[in-house]
Amino acid sequence: MKETALLYSNSAVKNLLNNYNINDNLQQLVENIYDHYFMQQSTDENFAENYHRIYCKDLLEVKTGKQDANFGCNNGKYKFFTCSRETLRCDVPAFSGHSILIAGNGDFNVKHYSGEFNAYQRTYVLIPNDEIFYGTLYMASLKLVNKFKKASAGSIVKFISKSDVENIEIIVPKDRTLLLQLN
């Protein structure tokens, strides 16, 4: 009986690790597509014919959660996003929709979620006014966070400000099918 449980446990761990590897590979593939079709084009001489630049603040109002980290509970009905990679639970939602969440301090990271949830006071909540911009906004947010991670290695960068988030540069193709494909 113990051997069966151990075998099942090892198999479950292997499956979990395989799923993480698949997710990492998919994430890398999406980043490569974004870099090719959006970022590399920003230096192209024909950029103005096919693309334009906008900023996060042009697509939405940047909001933050209002709760402190103690707001979470063990068996809450809703997700509670903090600056940690792990998501907590809570009993009261404050936001609803297809959302991008940026951890403003601590473990800089970007998450996406669809549904009702709540957020910690240093977590930025981005809900695009038009969902067609969801994919490109998510990828531009990842670029910002990766930039901050690199800048903070061995330095004093301690948080991402609301202004940093509002001014995330977003490359928008005039061909809206590219936006749809990224979603």
* Structure confidence by residue, pLDDT tens digits, 23-58: 667 777 777 777 777 777 666 677 778 888 899 999
Residue 84 in domain: yes
Domain CATH for 57: 3.90.220.20
Q: What is the pTM of this model?
A: 0.80
pLDDT at 156: 65
Residue 95 in domain: yes
Residue 116 in domain: yes
Q: pLDDT band for 7, please (50, 70, 90 cuts).
A: very low
Residue 174 in domain: yes
| CA dist., res. 66 & res. 94, Å (int) | 9
Residue 10 in domain: no
The total number of structural domains that make up the chain: 1
Residue 2 in domain: no
Long-range contact list for 148-156, CB < 8 A, 24+ apart?
148/108, 149/108, 152/108
Residue 164 in domain: yes
Query: Cβ-count burial of 82 within 10 angstroms (0-12 exposed, 13-18 middle, 19+ buried)?
Result: buried
Among 167, 147, 163, CA closest to 155: 147
Residue 114 in domain: yes
pLDDT at 9: 47
| CA dist., res. 139 & res. 67, Å (int) | 26
Domain residues for the domain of 92 are 49-182
Answer with the residue of higher pLDDT: 116 or 19. Answer: 116
pLDDT at 168: 95
